Amino acid sequence: MRFSETLHDGWLFTKEAVDGVPAYAPGPEWEAVEVPHTWNAFDGQDGGSDYYRGACWYVRQLTLKPHAPETRVYLEFQGAANVAEVYVNGCKVTEHVGGYSTFRADITTALMPGENVLAVKVSNEERSDVYPQMADFTFYGGLYRPVEVLYVNPTHFDLDYHAGPGVTVSSTIKDGAAVLDARAWVTDAAEGDVVNFQIFDDDGNEVASAAQPADVDGGKVRTEIVIPDAHLWQGVEDPYLYEVVATIIRHNEVLDEVSFLHGVREFRFDPQEGFFLNGKLTPLRGVSRHQDRLGKGNALSLEDHVEDAYLIKELGANTIRLAHYQQSRDFYDLCDQLGFVIWAEIPFISKMNDDPAAHQDCLSQMTELVIQNFNHASILMWGISNEILIGGDSPQLVQNLKELNDLAHSLDQTRVTTMAQVSNTPKDSEHNQITDILSYNHYFGWYGGHLEDNEAWLDDFHAMHPDRSFGLSEYGCEGIISYHTDDPQCGDYSEEYQALYHEHMARIIDERPWLWGTHVWNMFDFGCDARKEGGVEGRNNKGLVTIDRKIKKDSFFIYQAYWSAEPMVHICSKRYARRAADTIDVKVYSNQPEVALSVDGKPFATLAASAQDDPHIFVFKDVPLAEGYTHVTARAGIAEDSATWQKVAEPYEPYKFVDPEGGNIVMNWFDDVSADDGLAVDAPYDESCYSVHDTVSVILDNPEASATVTNAASSIANMRIKASMLGVLGNKSLVEMFDQLRSMSGKAEDLDQKLAYLNKQLQQIKK
């Protein structure tokens, strides 16, 4: 019978170079750590685009638990970023490429009696054959998910096929009954061995079962199980789960057992009506989630995952896009249990690498994602890429995407495929016909354009493609809770503008139920060491909640007002505590039919939702501020919230973000470029001055060169690009960077001419 142990403590860690495979020998070059662990917990979030990317070693002693003599012993790594080599007693037992999925190794023959030594080399170095290649988040390195030792009978459910569970169950619904397709793969089955499936309801009662011989068809077992009058998994409304217990039985002994939860559901996507779960129209409205935290990086505990899941539940969301990689099995389990509909994807993001080995890594990561997570009821769609056209288009890219799409379908015929398109992908692009459904990432009202461009684009695409189900895979804007204003404007990073942005988006999304799914970017602020947005280094601040999970921004509550069934009321701009005014407007969010506001204990006004432009937003005009402090309370049914503001003589200057880049980005920088200039990008150049052959990081170190390049980039991409946004491209030359922006230009054919003109300007700036 299988059992396991988690290798949490006892690890030694070093970044120092090691000759050969290290022994377990504590010394000054070794640090005692616990796993999960990342070496980028701090430098991956402090800005500068200089976090450590290299190879590191973990080593520990390995003493096995008592076990039967014939037992097979496996190591299981649930996440090692991004490439790992595993050694037991100096012998290499496995290696793995890809930082987000589980892998295993049978170490039985490498073990010795008594003490053993486990050594793991892990690297997050940049490699041409490993995705992600380029992305707007930190690529944390380390053994950042649990490591376990598995003890199994020689006859066991398969552990070697892409680290899958060895047992799968899917179901269909027929006349109220659930018809389960149960499959198992048995290693080393003997004649007469039996695989037994039992299905239990959530009270622990057995409601169905089936058995099949394990030794036929090479250990491949398949049977059908019927649950009469099945209780359906209805998402967050009713996430009912059955327990599946699969056992291998030899005579009167259970040799191995695997158990998991199963939700019975069916779904469909209608381009004109929207998403249906078990026949019920269920617009999917939710968030995206990265897996890191302040001071922890991606080395999260189960408690961290639980807190994240329940914060999203509190928001009222019913779907999560788990971006941009396979996430922890603990989190997928939580999503099953809480009823979130999940978009799971691989890190094929921003740019395709032409190295054929990179495509094989894509195929491998897709295979592992599907095989390892097949049994999760919450997962309904497999994502094959994100904003992949940032790096340009090519016939090979199209072919690779089609191959990924076909692979996902060949591995799983019960779910759909999808992809997230970069905003400027043409509406008639062939990329929009590759997957079953699709979504777009749009930031109108933040990086470029106006808020109203969002609904205009959505309606236009919907009219152009009436037969395609599509949604919003990303939308959002930065919100930093130390910045406040009475006049919020795009680009000011204020909490007020972020709230205004999401008020608009929540409303237009609510008006369009045919959008199959929408996902706020992002639920939580997350680490991106290359960024410096709004004076905050190493962070993407688009979260509805801060990276430490301590503060819910005002924008969190507008979605709660739209999506949550729990009575709520929230007063906005509480952190805008010092007010240089005699009166202010007080904005309140609520999902109740009316809100009453009192000021310093006295009733001020009551507003009805039906009388508001948006029934979730209540604005109390001209609320008087007393000398000193004014206390206000908002009540809506059983919900209540309060705030305190201080009246001051002068505005508090730190509330305003002062942009060191000046905000003077020129969008038409190339208007005066002429083909008659006779410039050539490959002409001889003065290396003592800046040029397009320098890397982005070198350019960004000089304010004048940085301003020149951001003007050029903004003009080519037709959107406001700040220097801080280019940090993720730090090791790319300007030539490479602008080639990646080529697909975002409406006049890509004159890019070389523009590069030559840019080079001329940079050559006038001394290093």
The pair of structure tokens assigned to 596 is 């009453």
Please tell me the distance from the alpha carbon of residue 144 to that of residue 333, in angstroms, as a whole number: 18
Compute how many other C-beta atoms are within 10 angstroms of the C-beta atom of residue 673.
Answer: 17
Compute how many other C-beta atoms are within 10 angstroms of the C-beta atom of residue 10.
Answer: 16
Phi and psi torsions of 115, nearest 5°? -75, 140
For 539-570, give the DSSP string: EE---SB-TTS--B-HHHHHHHHHH--S--EE
Please tell me the distance from the alpha carbon of residue 548 to that of residue 539, in angstroms, as a whole number: 12
Dihedral sign for Cα atoms in the order 522, 528, 531, 534: positive
Q: Comparing C-alpha atoms, which of 337, 380, 333, 381 is closest to residue 236?
A: 337
Strands 167-174 and 177-187: antiparallel
How many Å is the maximal CA-CA distance in the chain?
A: 88
The pair of structure tokens assigned to 343 is 């978009």
Q: Give buried/exposed letters for 65-98 (b at 16+ CB in 10 A, else e).
A: eeeeeebbbbbbbbbbbbbbbbbbbeeebbebbb
The pair of structure tokens assigned to 367 is 């295979």
Please tell me the distance from the alpha carbon of residue 477 to that of residue 443, in angstroms, as a whole number: 7
Length of the chain: 767
Contact 370, 382 (CB under 8 A): yes
Please tell me the distance from the alpha carbon of residue 250 to that of residue 255, in angstroms, as a whole number: 7
Burial class (CB in 10 A: 0-12, 13-18, 19+), 108: middle
Residues catalogued as catalytic: 387
For 256-275, give the DSSP string: EEEEEEE----EEEETTTEE
Phi and psi torsions of 628, nearest 5°? 85, -120
Dihedral sign for Cα atoms in the order 347, 349, 351, 352: positive
Please tell me the distance from the alpha carbon of residue 700 to that of residue 708, in angstroms, as a whole number: 10
Q: How far is residue 164 CA from its own chain's centroid?
A: 22
